[in-house]
C-alpha cells in the first residue's frame, strides 16, 4: 500500500487540509525495524517539548514555536547515520510521517502532556497525548511517560496509579514504555524544582521500576548526575534497560558529551534520548552535534 508523501512543509499543510486520512495511510505503509538494531544501542531525537508548552531553548523563549523550523531540524537530524528514531507528540510525529521522515525509524509517542510547563497544575500531568491503543493502531514502536512525584502533593498518588495502569496496558500490547521518573517539589515562589541528587534519582528509578503488574516492557529514561561514581551507584537501583536523557546543557555541549560518554559504559544504559541540545546547538550546526552524539555510542 503506497501512501501520499509531502515533498515540503507546504505540501504537508495542503495534505492535512484536503486528505486527513493520509496520516493513517502513511502510518500503515511505514517501513518498521526492531527497537534495538545490531549494535544494541539507541540514539533517539526528542521533540516532545512543544505539547507541554515548553518552547524555550536557552535565551530564546519561543525557539520551538516555529514548527516549520523544528521540522527542518528534525528531518536533518533523522537523516544522519546512526540516528535510530524520534520521540514526539502526535502532531509532530504525523508531520514527520507525511514528510516520509520516519521510514525505517523507531517511533516513540509521548503520552502524558497535560502538565503544562509553568502551570499551577504542572504536576497533574494527565495522559492527554497518545493512549496505548493509539500507538498500537498507528504501528508506532513504543511510548514514553513522564513520572514526576512530589512527596508533599497528595495528587502524586493519582499520577502513580495512572502511570502503573498505562504500564500494564502497554505490556498487554507488547509495546515498550519508557518511564522518565523524577522526585520534585514546589519552591516558595510556586516554581517546580527537580531533585537530581543521587539519592533522589535512585529512589525515582526504584519507584518507576516497580510500576504495574509486569516490568517486562518497561524501559527507564534517566538524567545524568554530575559525578560518574554517583551515576554508577544510581544505575544499580534497577536492572531495567535505560536511556540517558539530554535535557538543557547550556552552552557547554562538550561537557555534556563527556558525561554521556562515561554513563554509557554502565551495564544497564543502552542509549541516548536528546532533543534541544542537538536540535538547537549554540553554533547552529545540527548535523555536527548529532554526529558527535552518535559517536558516543
Please tell me the total count of domains within the chain. 1
Q: Which of 204, 83, 68 is nearest to 146 (CA)?
A: 204
Least confident window among 166-170, 225-229, 276-280: 225-229
Digit-coded pLDDT (tens) for 222-275: 999 878 789 999 999 999 999 999 866 666 778 888 889 999 999 999 999 999
pLDDT of residue 79: 97
54 assigned to some structural domain: yes
Are the C-beta atoms of 65 and 277 separated by less than 8 Å? no
- Record the cell numbers describing residue 39, joined without a space: 549494535
2 assigned to some structural domain: no
State if pTM tops 0.75: yes
Are the C-beta atoms of 64 and 55 separated by less than 8 Å? yes
285 assigned to some structural domain: yes
Largest CA distance in the chain: 57
Q: Which domain holds residue 212?
A: 9-296
If you average pLDDT over residues 12-30, what whole number do you get?
93
Digit-coded pLDDT (tens) for 111-162: 988 778 878 887 888 888 999 999 999 999 999 999 999 998 888 888 899 9
Sign of the dihedral defined by the CA atoms of residues 116, 69, 279, 7, in that order: positive
| R_g of the chain, CA atoms, integer Å | 18
56 assigned to some structural domain: yes
274 assigned to some structural domain: yes
Question: What are the C-alpha distances in Å from 261 to residues 23, 125, 216, 242?
Answer: 37, 31, 27, 14
267 assigned to some structural domain: yes
3 assigned to some structural domain: no
**Residue 249 belongs to domain with CATH number:** 3.20.20.70
209 assigned to some structural domain: yes
Long-range interactions of 226-229: CB distance < 8 A, separation 24+ = 226/259, 227/198, 228/259, 228/262, 228/263
What percent of the chain lies above the pLDDT cut of 90?
69
Amino acid at each position: 500500500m503506497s501512501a501520499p508523501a509531502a515533498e515540503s512543509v507546504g505540501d504537508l499543510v495542503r495534505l492535512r487540509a484536503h486528505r486527513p486520512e493520509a496520516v493513517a495511510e502513511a502510518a500503515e505503509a511505514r517501513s518498521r525495524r526492531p527497537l534495538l538494531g545490531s549494535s544494541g544501542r539507541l540514539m533517539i531525537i526528542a521533540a516532545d517539548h512543544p505539547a507541554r508548552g515548553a518552547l524555550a531553548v536557552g535565551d530564546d523563549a519561543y525557539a520551538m514555536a516555529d514548527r516549520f523550523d523544528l521540522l527542518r531540524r528534525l528531518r536533518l537530524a533523522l537523516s544522519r547515520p546512526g540516528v535510530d528514531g524520534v520521540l514526539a507528540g502526535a502532531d509532530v510525529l504525523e508531520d514527520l510521517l507525511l514528510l516520509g521522515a520516519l521510514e525505517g525509524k523507531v517511533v516513540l509517542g509521548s503520552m502524558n502532556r497535560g502538565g503544562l510547563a509553568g502551570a499551577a497544575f504542572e504536576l497533574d500531568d494527565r495522559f492527554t497525548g497518545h493512549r496505548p491503543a493509539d500507538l498500537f493502531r498507528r504501528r508506532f514502536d513504543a511510548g514514553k511517560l513522564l513520572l514526576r512525584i512530589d512527596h508533599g502533593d497528595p495528587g502524586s498518588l493519582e499520577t502513580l496509579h495512572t502511570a502503573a495502569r498505562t504500564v500494564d496496558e502497554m505490556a498487554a500490547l507488547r509495546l515498550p514504555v519508557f518511564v522518565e521518573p523524577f522526585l520534585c517539589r514546589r519552591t516558595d515562589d510556586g516554581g517546580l524544582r527537580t531533585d537530581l541528587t543521587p539519592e533522589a534519582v535512585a529512589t525515582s528509578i526504584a519507584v518507576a521500576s516497580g510500576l504495574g503488574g509486569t516490568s517486562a516492557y518497561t524501559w527507564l529514561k534517566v538524567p545524568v548526575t554530575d559525578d560518574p561514581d554517583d551515576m554508577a551507584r544510581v544505575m544499580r537501583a534497577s536492572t531495567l534497560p535505560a536511556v540517558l536523557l539530554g535535557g538543557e546543557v547550556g552552552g557547554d555541549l562538550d561537557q555534556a558529551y563527556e558525561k554521556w560518554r562515561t554513563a554509557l559504559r554502565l551495564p544497564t544504559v543502552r542509549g541516548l534520548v536528546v532533543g534541544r541540545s542537538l536540535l538547537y546547538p549554540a553554533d547552529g550546526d545540527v548535523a555536527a552535534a548529532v554526529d558527535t552524539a552518535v559517536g558516543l555510542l
